[in-house]
């Protein structure tokens, strides 16, 4: 019987959450919890042995970060679907978690009602995000704020693209100015133009776009 059930692995440092998440999952006829862990090294070891279908990972866990764990799991187990379950603000972490390799992001305050739906969705090969984050992503897409590589290069001047790429590589404004041998004011002016052209509302968004673009175009 168990063989037909999808195996779920839990990584969370709070025992009460693990206990009742297990109870909730066990109540579903098609799901079973195959193991649990409260820190990253143990989780990596157990998951390699058990080979679950889905891992539910908290961002803040004992020893190590959940995001790093997801990156490691993604590298070692490309077929494993991962859902991030976190108390942290989804606007800050959802995109980061998805970029790291997660297929879903749930805020803990919405877990009870959403977690089973999320598990089924990722098992079906889809991505699960909250409505507000999905809406925010969709809006960006419609506004053309999620430009493809080609259109981005067309939109930005050479210098702007250089700033954008350096920011994406993790350099700070000051370092970008040094590397391009221009003043901070010039870099800031470039940033303002990039934001305008890509319809980004703030510098944090600019940074995120730059990092995202850089990850998709590592050769550039």
Partner 1 sequence: MLGFIKQLEDRSRFGLIVLAFVIIAVIGWVDYLTGYEISFSVFYLLSVALAVWFVGKWFGVLVSALSVAVWVVGDFASGARFANPLVPIWNALVVLTFYLVVVWLLANLRSFHQNLELQVRQRTRALTEEIAERERLERELLEISEREQRRIGQDLHDGLCQHLTGATLAGQVLEEKLAARGLPETTDASRVVEIVEEGINLSRRLAKGLYPVEMAADGLMLALEEFAATSSALFKVTCRFECDSPVLVHDTATAGHLYRIAQEAVRNAIKHGRAKNILIRLEAGETGNELSIRDDGTGLPDPLPKERGMGLRIMAHRSAMIGAKFEVRRGEPGGTVVTCEVKNVPVRETI
5/108 with CB nearer partner 1: 108
Q: Does 2 bind partner 1 (CB under 8 A)?
A: no
Burial of 212 (0-12, 13-18, 19+ CB in 10 A): middle
91 binds partner 1 (CB under 8 A): yes
How far apart, in whole angstroms, are the C-alpha atoms of residue 179 and residue 81? 40
Question: What is the DSSP secondary structure assignment for residue 219, as one 8-state letter?
Answer: T
Task: Name which of 4 and 27 has its Cβ closer to partner 1.
Answer: 27
User: Can residue 79 be called a binding residue for partner 1 (CB under 8 A)?
Assistant: no
Distance CA(49)–CA(43), nearest Å, equals 10
Single residue of 62, 165, 188, 197 touching partner 1 by CB under 8 A: 188
Q: Is 220 helix (H, G, I), strand (E, B) or coil?
A: coil
- 46 makes contact with partner 1 (CB under 8 A): no
User: Nearest-CA neighbor of 50 among 8, 78, 111, 98?
Assistant: 8
Q: Which residues bind partner 1 (CB under 8 A)?
A: 14, 16-17, 19-21, 23-24, 27, 60, 87-89, 91-92, 108-113, 167, 169-177, 183-184, 187-192, 202-204, 206-208, 211
């Amino acid at each position: 019987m168990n063989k037909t059930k999808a195996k779920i692995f839990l990584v969370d440092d709070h025992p009460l959450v693990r206990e009742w998440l297990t109870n909730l999952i066990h109540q579903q006829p098609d799901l079973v919890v195959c193991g649990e862990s409260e820190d990253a090294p143990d989780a990596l070891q157990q998951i390699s042995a058990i080979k679950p279908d889905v891992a539910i990972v908290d961002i803040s866990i004992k020893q190590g970060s959940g995001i790093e764990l997801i990156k490691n799991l993604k590298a070692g187990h490309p077929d494993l679907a991962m859902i991030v379950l976190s108390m942290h603000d989804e606007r800050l972490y959802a995109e980061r978690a998805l970029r790291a390799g997660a297929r879903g992001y749930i805020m803990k305050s919405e877990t009870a009602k959403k977690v089973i739906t999320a598990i089924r969705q990722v098992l079906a090969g889809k991505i699960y995000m909250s409505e507000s984050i999905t809406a925010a992503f969709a809006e960006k897409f419609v506004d053309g704020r999620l430009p493809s590589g080609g259109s981005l290069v067309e939109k930005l001047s050479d210098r702007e693209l250089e700033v954008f790429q350096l920011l994406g590589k993790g350099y700070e404004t000051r370092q970008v100015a040094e590397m391009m041998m221009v003043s901070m004011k010039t870099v800031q002016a470039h940033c303002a133009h990039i934001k305008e052209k890509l319809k980004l509302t703030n510098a944090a968004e600019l940074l995120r776009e730059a990092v995202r673009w850089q990850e998709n175009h590592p050769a550039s």
